[in-house]
Every structure is written in C-alpha cells, then in structure tokens.
Homo-oligomer: A and B are copies of this chain.
Amino acid sequence: MLSTHPATADQALVRRLNTALIMDWLRRRGALSRAGLSAATGLNRSTVSSVIHDLLEEHLVREVGLQPSEGGRPGMLLELSPEGGCAVGVEIGVDFVSVVLTDFIAQVLWRKRIPSDPKDRQGIIVSRTEDLVQEALSIGTERGLRILGVGLGVPGLVDLQQGTLVFAPNLGWSDVPFRQMWTERFDAPVFVENEANAAALGEYYFGLARNVQTLVYLSAGVGLGGGIILNGRLFRGSSGYAGEVGHMTVDPNGELCGCGKRGCWETVVGPRAIVRRVRQALESGAESQIGTLVENDLSHIDVGVVVEAAQAGDLVAQTALEEIGVHLGIGISNLVNTFNPEMVVLGGALSLASPFLLPVVEETVREHALEQPREILRIAASAHGAEACVMGAIALVVDEILREPLL
C-alpha cells in the first residue's frame, strides 16, 4: 500500500486529492461500492481500495451491506460514518449563544441555546460560551468520539488567517482572537467565520442547496449579511471580507446605515426596515391587529410579530412585507447579474417571512435581472431556520476535513 512507505511530495498530494474526492462523492451520493466509486471518480480500483482501506481504519467510512445484485459479484456499499468523530458548532449571536454537538455526518447529538444580553461584558459572554463548548466536548468524548474540531460563527468581520473576530458592530466587539484562545484550551482545531459565510456553507453541505455549486445566501439577523459559494467553495475574497452585500448602495440619498453610509441595501430590507415600515404605518393611524399583538407597545414589534399578523390577514403587515420584497428583489437582481448563481437562499428573519416575500421577490427579479442568468436561478427560503449558522459552524469543521483529509 502507498501509505506504508514514505511518499514523495507528489504522492502525498495525489493521495490527499484522491481521498478528498472519494469522501466528497460519498458525502454527496450516499452509499456507493468501491466499483461505483471507481466509475464515479475515474480513479482506478486499486487506488480506491487503498484509500477506502485507510478511511475504514480511521472510522471515517463504514460498510453498510451488500449492493442489490444485478448479476456478477455484489459490491459492499460504503458511506461516511457517524463514528468518524464529533464536531462542535458555535454561534455567538447578538442576544444569544447557541452550541451543537454533531457526529461526522452532522447528526445532532446535543444542543443548547442560551439568551444573552448584548449589554453584558464580552468576558462574561465568552466565558459562558466556553462552558457550553466544554460541556459539548465532554459529551462527545464520553461517547468515545474523537474531537474533529470546533467551528464558530460570529456576526462580524473575521481575519481568517488568524481566526480572529476583527469587528462585530452589533456586539461592539473587536479583535477577539478566538482561534488562539480556544485551540489550546480545547485541544482541537478551531475555525472562525462570519455568520453568513458559515450559514452559506451549512446550506451547501446539509441544507437545500446541497451540491449547488454557485450560491448566494442572504442572512438577515440584526443586519443583512451575505455568504457566497462559488464552484462549491466558500468565496472569501482576497483577505476574507467578501460577501458584505448588505452594504451595497441602492440609493445614494437614502437612510443612514450603521456602517456610516447612506442607502445601504440593509437599510431598506433588513429586519429593522421591516419593523420601521410597520411602525410608521401604525403611527400614521393605519388599522392593524399588530398593536394588539404587542399590547400597544410598538417597541415590541419584531419580524416574528409582523409575520404572525400577515398570516392572520393583516393588511399593514402584508403591505410592509410586500414593499420589502420589492427592494429585496432589486438587490437580488444585482447579485444575479453579478454572480449568475444557481440559487439564492433567504436565511434568518427573511426565511421566517418567506411565504410573503418570495412571490414579490420572484416577480421583481423577473423584471430587474437580465434574462439569461435568470433562466437557471432558483430562489428559496433556508430550511435551517434559527440553526442555519450553528449548523454552518459544523460545516466549517467538515469542510476542512473533506478538503484536507486527516490521513
């Protein structure tokens, strides 16, 4: 076997590429035999057998029974194994912390979500998060699973080289060296990413955008973030800051944005914009049941309330969402003309409101995007809901292993 004698640089590289290729086919296609893998990858049978041998030893792959025979000797089917290890996914949001533990095939073994107050000191929030990660790791270890890594999604800009949160405007945090802090503490690889980027990767690996090679993910939390998958990989730009589509200027004379500019897309389609529209309508005396829903305290209006009212037929709520849908559609048209993606996914608060947004978004994109890139396009709501980012954090760990196999 190749792996038993020292490989040259070339052989080691080829080995890694071949291993990644085989694992990726198993991830995408589920159970395949060695012969099936050989046909799918174009690798010869002995190479496939040798790589599979090592993957079985590492418990990254398992045998799941014989293929139904179609004449000839039936092959043993293989798939990625839950026993390959466990991963911890973490999301530090503006007002909550969420942690999940999954096995190698992203089945959730444990989850916890705690509220947090953005006014709390950074040290307190980080320390609570670390306790949760520790709890997750202990559960994984008790189950006899090796720790594959810890992934973290944060609502801000990330220095990928360093694994540092550079700036999170809505948390008011800057320069938090998470990878450095946590790699030693947890004795595991640590991956830090912007939350929209992580969510996009989660959608690609485990969501409805599975195997969609070119994907724009829009994540509406407090602001509006974007995660972009190009050719099956997260696109991070030349220094890790790509995808800040929420700050695309759609109206140079528009409203002031948190970033200091006027008329950013985020100011007309983000959750704040939804709430503002509804509030303005109520303040100008429009009839609506929203006032009752929030017991006449308009400061309690959020996207959830607006969607609830819209579902009950409330016209103020429905009109606000339709208006948002138009602006969303215009910005999405820009992204369609720019990226020619197969899919645009609405995540976060947008996925919550998607039954009302999608029809208007689709109509607007039909009017505003060029015809040719539109032909291939699907627009959909994220299937992950509130867990999009934390499952994306798991995807960061899985992505690293599938791209750069452990072997």
Binding site for B on A (CB under 8 A): 8-10, 13-14, 18, 42-44, 47, 157, 166-167, 213-214, 226, 228, 230, 235-245, 247-252, 259, 261, 330-331, 333-334, 337-342, 367-368, 370, 372-373, 375-376
On whether the beta carbons of B42 and A244 are closer than 8 Å, the reply is no
- A373 cross-chain contacts in B, Cβ below 8 A: 237, 239, 241-242, 244
Docked complex Cα distance between A247 and B367 (Å): 12
On whether the beta carbons of A237 and B47 are closer than 8 Å, the reply is no
On whether the beta carbons of A239 and B375 are closer than 8 Å, the reply is yes
- Check A337/B47 contact, CB under 8 A, given A214-B238, A372-B239: no
| Nearest-neighbor residue (CB-CB) of A260 within chain B | B367
Instruction: Give the distance to chain B from A253, nearest Cβ to Cβ, in Å.
Output: 9
- A214 cross-chain contacts in B, Cβ below 8 A: 237-238
On whether the beta carbons of B10 and A44 are closer than 8 Å, the reply is yes
- A330 cross-chain contacts in B, Cβ below 8 A: 249, 252
On whether the beta carbons of B239 and A235 are closer than 8 Å, the reply is no
This chain: copies in complex:
2
Candidates B166, B235, B367, B376; contact of A372 at CB < 8 Å: B166
Docked complex Cα distance between A14 and B17 (Å): 10
- A261 cross-chain contacts in B, Cβ below 8 A: 333, 367-368
On whether the beta carbons of B338 and A244 are closer than 8 Å, the reply is yes
On whether the beta carbons of A250 and B247 are closer than 8 Å, the reply is no
- A235 cross-chain contacts in B, Cβ below 8 A: 230
- Check A340/B249 contact, CB under 8 A, given A10-B14, A370-B259: no
Instruction: Give the distance to chain B from A65, nearest Cβ to Cβ, in Å.
Output: 28
On whether the beta carbons of B238 and A340 are closer than 8 Å, the reply is yes
On whether the beta carbons of B339 and A376 are closer than 8 Å, the reply is no
On whether the beta carbons of A241 and B47 are closer than 8 Å, the reply is no
On whether the beta carbons of A238 and B376 are closer than 8 Å, the reply is yes
On whether the beta carbons of B370 and A244 are closer than 8 Å, the reply is yes
Docked complex Cα distance between A238 and B372 (Å): 11
| Nearest-neighbor residue (CB-CB) of A261 within chain B | B368
Instruction: Give the distance to chain B from A91, nearest Cβ to Cβ, in Å.
Output: 21
Docked complex Cα distance between A27 and B194 (Å): 36
Instruction: Give the distance to chain B from A403, nearest Cβ to Cβ, in Å.
Output: 14
| Nearest-neighbor residue (CB-CB) of A156 within chain B | B372
Docked complex Cα distance between A236 and B373 (Å): 11
On whether the beta carbons of B340 and A237 are closer than 8 Å, the reply is yes
- A241 cross-chain contacts in B, Cβ below 8 A: 340, 370, 372-373
Instruction: Give the distance to chain B from A227, nearest Cβ to Cβ, in Å.
Output: 12
- Check A243/B42 contact, CB under 8 A, given A14-B10, A238-B213: no
On whether the beta carbons of A47 and B10 are closer than 8 Å, the reply is yes
Instruction: Give the distance to chain B from A35, nearest Cβ to Cβ, in Å.
Output: 15
- A47 cross-chain contacts in B, Cβ below 8 A: 10
> Other CB < 8 Å A-B pairs besides A237-B340, A243-B340, A245-B338, 18 of them?
A8-B44, A167-B372, A237-B373, A238-B341, A238-B342, A240-B340, A241-B370, A241-B373, A244-B337, A244-B338, A245-B337, A247-B337, A248-B248, A248-B334, A249-B330, A249-B368, A261-B367, A334-B334
Instruction: Give the distance to chain B from A195, nearest Cβ to Cβ, in Å.
Output: 16
- Check A239/B340 contact, CB under 8 A, given A44-B8, A244-B373, A251-B251: yes
Candidates B10, B18, B251; contact of A43 at CB < 8 Å: B10
Instruction: Give the distance to chain B from A335, nearest Cβ to Cβ, in Å.
Output: 8
On whether the beta carbons of B370 and A247 are closer than 8 Å, the reply is yes
| Nearest-neighbor residue (CB-CB) of A13 within chain B | B42
Candidates B166, B213, B337; contact of A248 at CB < 8 Å: B337
The 4 closest A-B pairs by CB, nearest first: A237-B340, A242-B340, A244-B337, A214-B238
Docked complex Cα distance between A250 and B368 (Å): 12
- A249 cross-chain contacts in B, Cβ below 8 A: 250, 330-331, 333-334, 368
Candidates B239, B338, B376; contact of A338 at CB < 8 Å: B338
- A226 cross-chain contacts in B, Cβ below 8 A: 338
